[in-house]
Amino acid sequence: MTQKLVVIGAGMASGRALEHLFETDPAAYDVTLFNAEPRGNYNRIMLSPVLSGDKTYEEIVTHDADWYEGNDVTCRFGEHVTAIDRDRKVVVGQNGEVPYDKLLIATGSAPFIIPVPGKDLPGVIAYRDLEDTNTMIAAGAKGGRAVVIGGGLLGLEAAAGLAARGMDVTVVHLMGHLMERQLDDAAGYLLRRALEDKGITVRCKASTAAIVGEDHVEGVLLQDDELIPADLVVMAVGIRPETRLATDAALEVERGITVDDQLVTSDPDVLAMGECVEHRGQLFGLVAPLYDQAKIVAKTLLGEAAEFVPREVSTKLKVTGCDLFSAGDFAEADGHEDIVFRDPARGVYKRLVLEGNTLVGAVMYGDTADSGWFFGLIKDATDISEMRDTLIFGPSFQGGAPLDPMAAVAALPDDVEICGCNGVSKGDIMAAIAAGAGDLGAIRATTKASASCGTCTGLVEQVLGATLGDDFVIPAAAGICGCTDLTHEDVRRLIKSKELKTQPAVWQELGWSTPDGCHICRPEVNYYLLADWPLAYQDDGQSRFINERKHANIQKDGTFSVVPRMWGGMTTPNELRAIADAAEKYNVPTVHVTGGQRIDLLGVRGEDLPDIWADLNAAGMVSGHAYAKGLRTVKTCVGRDHCRFGTQDSTGLGIKLERHLWGSWTPHKVKLAVSGCPRNCAEATCKDIGVVCVDSGFQIGVAGAAGMDVKETERLADVATEQEVIDLATAFIQLYRENAKYLDRPYKWVAKVGLDWVKEQVVEDLENRAALIERFEISQSVYRTDPWADHVKTRAKTYAPVTTFALEAAE
Amino acid sequence: MSNWTDIAALDDIAIRGARVVKTAHGCVAVFRTGTDEVFALDNACPHKKGPLAEGIVHGNTVTCPLHNWVFSLETGEAQGADNGRVETYAARIENGRILLETSFLKARAA
Ligand code: SRM
Ligand SMILES: Cc1cc2nc3c(=O)[nH]c(=O)nc-3n(C[C@H](O)[C@H](O)[C@H](O)COP(=O)(O)OP(=O)(O)OC[C@H]3O[C@@H](n4cnc5c(N)ncnc54)[C@H](O)[C@@H]3O)c2cc1C
Ligand code: SF4
Ligand code: FES
């Protein structure tokens, strides 16, 4: 006897289920199909090509009127189901009831709308159905600006479609990189670059505060008070299973409608499938597993045994020119190992994630030709131990080309500047080679590249190597760490010349072999980026050694030391009292007078840091940066005011220098001293910069050392005024900041580049001196602030345990 | 019997960062990697008790802040030439929250 089947929702999932049902037994059921949308089944995922203009709606219809008629389906399109009455076994539609023997709920999901003011304004839409798509197409025809909230799959397809239709599009994304659930930040970086090439503006780490407008949307207001004007706002921040009918009908619902392996709900006569269900804790957002569900639903309806097993899903983005692929569960696999391949020249990034001898995940950008093969290896859990070494090269690998350490340099465009001192480009060097220059000496003689400060030597050699091939043997120079073959100097130069402004950009463009660096290169790259792009780059605390992340020196027992600044070694009874009070209040076990003319409170518990800082701040004291690769101390002597030999105000000048320079980050620590006369009580002649006052003015020495090495300063210049001292010290530090390799103290760096070159830059070339000072000031506009006060205000809670289990709870 | 306990929101821990969970038996460091995986390990380095939560997180490893031993977040094993292991505990993310499998607290108390 023919039974009655009612289906709620004519979407991708139910459409497929009906096909299987009719193929197997067309006579088993009388089917009534409800759909809230005023149409039948179409290929929802092809809405993006419709939006971008590559397809028409007619081309993506999967089931037309003939199909429904041929299969005797009663269609109730454009009609919402409002209730399910399980006792009477009827479905209540807007236009009347229909009885059922079996019911299939396939209501899909609803776009999540972030609950901000203005969300209901006209012009604010989601991206789910044909209506939304047509609204976007109409908006595109008028031009203007669009903001897409959400940088996931849907949001980016919407953005690309709107841009293709001529709108000025901004994507606002909450997380640090695009599609963060499918991509790691290296691939996210490449994707962002590709979208920006299409003219789309991408704003990551941006949180929407409100949508503004009178009677139509006018803009999106971000949390940081920036207003992005918009004529259209598309919210694509996520989806929520559409479970309202099931909940009202008292079916079991968790995040989605609970179903078993047969896709049956808590009621044996009610099945559910698609994005509205939850199966063994899992929700669905892509069609591949739904097609599997469709087969099981058909079998279950026909009384055949079958079991739904969720399969691996993979993601691709349907945006022309953005070739990406991701598959596998990065988030929950255990025991991973990574294999990373980057080809900066082609903008290719591939990362395979292995667990033991099987592939469990893959992310690819730029070249996804082998994605199907990798996806197969993941799904079948193939043992890859035999091909492990060459796996990343894909199935067609014939045992050739190893990774090329010179790829990054070979990939540089010809107009990229290699030698900053003399303005020599890669093309100039190649021209010199073509004209017969075959080694470094000849290049220096003909182009002057690497003939000045010499920090670009490694790059010049790589250009020689890349151009001459085997005829030129590159002298072995050590890479920074296991993540790259490039030397410190090469990385520094390339960050500047290629204008790399984020860590993922550095990892990708310079061919890092690890996903996100290591404890050696991360602090180094973080420093170069913040020194070269103080305004564009956001300092990354997670790439800093703990001392700089927590602004205190870690001790052998895990406690910390706290050293407030005492400008020029001067203090007051008030400050001393506050230090004494803090020492008592926080049970500081050790108080030591340092070799840097200030007081160290040693043994402070990490959790107490924000509190003790707040107390010291209240007494007017700030961080002494005793932990920093940055400006440490400016030691002074009592000078002219008190000492019978003092020639100038050494204390006052020291304080001025310290106030001017404090907070700046440098390749290694920087210490200064100012002595009031050549008796040199402040030990100025062994500092990074030391000033000795004399009757005629000031002698400025640089590049001294008194730590692991002991070395007297070398004379940079003699000047007459305090202002000149401050200017020369500032310019010297900026030159050091911009050029030295990370962890070279000034004396080591000056030994490499030569004092003569430094003098040329800082003393003789007045224009250059002014430019250095200006760049220092730009950087200080960001960094000349007290990090203690900032952390007390913005992140005090990160210093405390995230949770504490009381003793009772543990028992 | 497993005992999953909600300890924090995922966003309470910085990407490539860690926070500490205090227990009566010592601290557990909960890590969040660059690919948003979470791991829980004892917060004491086997070398000289360095607090691993203060280390730099890279890939699925962390570098001890005191003398740079590197540990796998998955197995707790020291990498490279160094020998040693820290205890690991099960942790996972659900709905943007971090869950820690806390039956070890009972086991240790017993
Ligand atoms: C506190 C202090 C010792 C004291 O109690 O007097 C000190 C303590 C440390 N010094 Fe120092 N140095 C201190 C003055 C010095 C001085 C003398 C000076 O500044 O006039 C020197 C020689 C001058 C110099 O800088 O070279 C000095 C040369 C070093 C070195 C060797 C640097 C070098 O390039 O040769 C290191 C190791 C390093 O930085 O890599 C070091 C490293 C350290 C560290 C940070 C070790 C570490 O990495 O944990 C110590 C931290 C202790 C703590 O937890 O607070 N400390 N250290 C002094 C703090 C000065 C201040 O007020 O900021
Ligand atoms: C623009 C876009 C692009 C996408 N791209 C991809 C992609 O590239 N790859 C991929 O795998 N997935 C993609 N997806 C996701 C994919 O479309 C969904 O996973 C799939 O459509 C879910 O199928 P479903 O049948 O569960 O729900 P749907 O296809 O949403 O169908 C549910 C239907 O139920 C109807 N309905 C809901 N409530 C009621 C009610 N009370 N009464 C009557 N009818 C109701 C709705 O109107 C809707 O028509 C994309 C989605 C969108 C929106
Ligand atoms: S000399 Fe400096 S680094 Fe060495 S033990 Fe003393 S404080 Fe520590
Ligand atoms: S305590 Fe961890 S490496 Fe020494």
The confidence band for A641, taking pLDDT boundaries of 50, 70 and 90, is confident
Interface touch B57/A542, C-beta < 8 Å: yes
Interface touch B75/A335, C-beta < 8 Å: yes
Q: What is the structure's pLDDT at A450?
A: 81
Q: What is the structure's pLDDT at A421?
A: 74
Which residue does chain A place closest to B61, by CA atoms? A518
pLDDT digits (tens, 9 = 90+) for A119-178: 999 999 999 999 999 999 999 999 999 999 999 989 999 999 999 999 999 999 998 889
pLDDT digits (tens, 9 = 90+) for A722-738: 999 999 999 999 999 99
Q: What is the structure's pLDDT at A809?
A: 43
Pocket residues for ligand 4 (CB within 6 Å)?
B 45, 47-50, 64, 66-67, 69
Which residue does chain A place closest to B76, by CA atoms? A335
Look over chain B and give the mean of its residue pLDDT values, rounded to a whole number. Answer: 91
pLDDT digits (tens, 9 = 90+) for A680-699: 999 999 999 999 999 999 99
* pLDDT beyond 90 at A405: no
Cβ A553 under 6 angstroms from ligand 1: yes
Instruction: Tally A–B CB contacts below 8 A.
Output: 118
Which residue does chain A place closest to B50, by CA atoms? A558
Residue A145 Cα distances to A154, A350, A396, A469, B102, angstroms: 18, 34, 45, 50, 51
Interface touch A805/B23, C-beta < 8 Å: yes
CB A510, CB A524: distance < 8 Å: no
- The residue with tokens 């962890």 is A743
pLDDT digits (tens, 9 = 90+) for A472-511: 776 666 788 889 888 898 899 999 988 999 999 999 999 8
Q: What is the mean pLDDT of residues A69-73?
A: 94
Q: Which two tokens stand for residue A460?
A: 């010049």
Q: What is the structure's pLDDT at B78?
A: 93
* A794 contacts: CB under 8 Å, gap ≥ 6: none
Cβ A498 under 6 angstroms from ligand 1: no
Q: What is the mean pLDDT of residues A550-565?
A: 95
CB A630, CB A670: distance < 8 Å: yes
Q: What is the structure's pLDDT at A448?
A: 80
* pLDDT beyond 70 at B108: no
Whether the CB of B13 is below 8 Å from some CB of chain A: the reply is yes
pLDDT digits (tens, 9 = 90+) for A429-466: 999 988 888 888 888 888 888 877 777 887 888 888 88
DSSP H or E run through A725: helix A722-739
Q: What is the structure's pLDDT at A324?
A: 86
* pLDDT beyond 80 at B109: no
Pairing of strands A168-172, A201-203: parallel
* pLDDT beyond 80 at A192: yes
Q: Which two tokens stand for residue A497?
A: 């010349």
Global pTM value: 0.72
Residue A770 Cα distances to A534, A714, A732, angstroms: 18, 22, 11
Q: What is the structure's pLDDT at B82?
A: 85
Q: What is the structure's pLDDT at B24?
A: 84
Chain B neighbors of A807, CB-CB under 8 A: 24
- Its domain, for residue B72, covers 4-107
Q: What is the structure's pLDDT at A73?
A: 96
Look over chain A and give the mean of its residue pLDDT values, rounded to a whole number. Answer: 91
Chain B neighbors of A544, CB-CB under 8 A: 56
Q: What is the structure's pLDDT at A361?
A: 87
Which sign, positive or negative, has the C-alpha torsion B10, B11, B16, B18? Answer: negative
* A763 contacts: CB under 8 Å, gap ≥ 6: A716, A717, A728, A769
Chain B neighbors of A545, CB-CB under 8 A: 56, 65
* pLDDT beyond 60 at A209: yes
Q: What is the mean pLDDT of residues A5-16?
A: 96
Q: What is the mean pLDDT of residues A214-236?
A: 94
Q: Ligand 4 test: best mutation among B64, B85, B86, most atoms within 8 Å of CB? A: B64
A60 Cα–ligand 2 center, Å: 14
Q: What is the mean pLDDT of residues A756-779?
A: 96
Residue A224 Cα distances to A201, A210, A221, A227, angstroms: 17, 11, 8, 9
Q: What is the number of structural domains in chain B?
A: 1
How is residue A763 annotated by DSSP?
I
Interface touch A330/B37, C-beta < 8 Å: yes
* A307 contacts: CB under 8 Å, gap ≥ 6: A261, A262, A296
A524 Cα–ligand 3 center, Å: 23
Residue A272 Cα distances to A110, A250, A300, A455, A790, angstroms: 16, 14, 11, 66, 52
Closest by CA to B65, choosing from B55, B76, B74, B75, is B55
Q: What is the structure's pLDDT at A317?
A: 83
pLDDT digits (tens, 9 = 90+) for A26-70: 999 999 999 999 999 999 998 998 998 888 999 999 999 999 999
The confidence band for A199, taking pLDDT boundaries of 50, 70 and 90, is very high
Q: What is the structure's pLDDT at A439?
A: 84
Burial A279-306 (b: 16+ CB within 10 A, else e): beeebbbebebbebbbbbbbbbbeeeee
Residue A225's CB is within 10 A of a number of other CB atoms, namely: 7
* pLDDT beyond 90 at A761: yes
Q: Which of residues 47-86 of B touch A (CB under 8 A)?
A: 48-51, 54-60, 63, 65-66, 68, 70, 74-75
| CATH number for the domain that contains residue B46 | 2.102.10.10
**Secondary structure of A181-225 as H, E, C letters:** CCCCHHHHHHHHHHHHHCCCEEECCCCEEEEECCCCCCEEEECCC
A29-43, A329-343, B6-20: segment of lowest average pLDDT: A329-343
pLDDT digits (tens, 9 = 90+) for A74-118: 999 999 999 999 999 999 999 999 999 999 999 999 999 999 999
Which of B21, B24, B34 is facing A803, going by the closest CB pair? B21
